[in-house]
A = this chain, B = another copy of it.
Amino acid sequence: MLSKSRQTYIRSLHQKKYRQQYGAFLVEGTKSVQEVLQSSFEIEALIATEAFYKENVSLTDHQRTPVEIVSVADLQRIGTLESNNGALAVVRTKENRPLVADTGEIVLILDDIRDPGNLGTILRIADWYGVHKILCSETTADVYNPKVISASKGSFTRVQWWYGDIISLLQNSAENTTQPVYGAFLDGADVHTLPFGPGGYLVMGNESNGIRPDLEPFVTQRVTIPRYGDAESLNVGIATAVLLDNWRRVNGR
């Protein structure tokens, strides 16, 4: 049984304000907790059912993780998931360090992606397509939001991110490098025939408004997913996957 103050602390981490204040976030559910225990993240506490703990004791050893055994009811009371009969981990957030694109590397830029489910899906897609770095505008959903972590299906442990001023970053890149910057627009080059280069940036814009006008001048290659029917648009996660799939098809590794 968790003390009242522990419960209050953990529940406060449902909110961005407290995640930032305490430098901690929540990872929930059997699979996600198993993944984070095997990652480079620092675990502050593992709150687990006895069954989870017994089956995963080997994963908790290496960090001398503090473990608290609770009931399923307790677990659901402190977490955000409708059902969780495994575990919840309180994990330290990482420092917001700038990420540098290596030559020939594909780096994602997210300009104001608001929906946590979309952001989580994009982490999972990036992980599938071997994209390890994601640069986010300050207005993009918080990656430490429990919905993002959950939707990423463990991929948050394998992808790095940075939040900051992506316009300055692109400005700097334009002045100092020749990295191409791809961006999705309605009037771009057909991604089915475009000879994608080996690396560069792919900019994905807001769910309703697309890429901000301020950012447009930095896009060196406008791209378009051809449409064969009548839907007005594709979801931003779907579009990210289709664009990365075409890029990888042309430039495998």
Interface residues in chain A, defined as those with a beta carbon under 8 Å from any beta carbon in chain B: 121, 124-132, 153-155, 158, 192, 225-235, 237-238, 241-242, 245-246, 248-249, 252-253
Q: In whole angstroms, how far apart are the Cα atoms of A233 and B241 in the complex?
A: 12
- Inter-chain contact B128/A229, CB cutoff 8 Å: yes
Give every chain B residue within 8 A of A125 (Cβ-Cβ).
231, 234, 238
Q: Select from chain B the residue with minimum beta-carbon distance to A121.
A: B235
- Inter-chain contact B192/A234, CB cutoff 8 Å: no
Which A-B residue pairs are the 10 nearest by beta carbons?
A: A130-B228, A130-B229, A127-B231, A128-B231, A192-B249, A238-B241, A127-B229, A242-B245, A129-B228, A155-B231
Give every chain B residue within 8 A of A226 (Cβ-Cβ).
248, 252
Smallest distance from the beta carbon of A236 to chain B beta carbons, Å?
12
- Inter-chain contact B228/A158, CB cutoff 8 Å: no
- Inter-chain contact A128/B227, CB cutoff 8 Å: yes
Q: In whole angstroms, how far apart are the Cα atoms of A158 and B229 in the complex?
A: 9
- Which of B124, B153, B227, B245 is close to A225, meaning CB atoms less than 8 Å apart? B245
Give every chain B residue within 8 A of A155 (Cβ-Cβ).
230-231
- Which of B192, B232, B249, B253 is close to A153, meaning CB atoms less than 8 Å apart? B232
Most buried by B among A155, A234, A246: A234
Q: How many copies of this chain?
A: 2
Give 16 CB contacts A-B under 8 Å. A121-B238, A124-B234, A127-B230, A127-B231, A128-B231, A129-B228, A131-B229, A153-B232, A158-B229, A192-B245, A235-B237, A241-B241, A241-B242, A242-B242, A242-B245, A245-B245
Q: In whole angstroms, how far apart are the Cα atoms of A26 and B238 in the complex?
A: 26
Q: Select from chain B the residue with minimum beta-carbon distance to A157.
A: B230
- Inter-chain contact A229/B192, CB cutoff 8 Å: no
Give every chain B residue within 8 A of A252 (Cβ-Cβ).
226, 228
Knowing A235-B121, A245-B225, A245-B242, the reply to whether A230 touches B153 (Cβ < 8 A) is: no
Give every chain B residue within 8 A of A128 (Cβ-Cβ).
227-231, 233-234
Give every chain B residue within 8 A of A235 (Cβ-Cβ).
121, 124, 237
- Inter-chain contact B231/A241, CB cutoff 8 Å: no
- Which of B121, B130, B228, B248 is close to A248, meaning CB atoms less than 8 Å apart? B228
Q: In whole angstroms, how far apart are the Cα atoms of A154 and B227 in the complex?
A: 16
Q: Select from chain B the residue with minimum beta-carbon distance to A249.
A: B192
Give every chain B residue within 8 A of A228 (Cβ-Cβ).
128-130, 248, 252-253
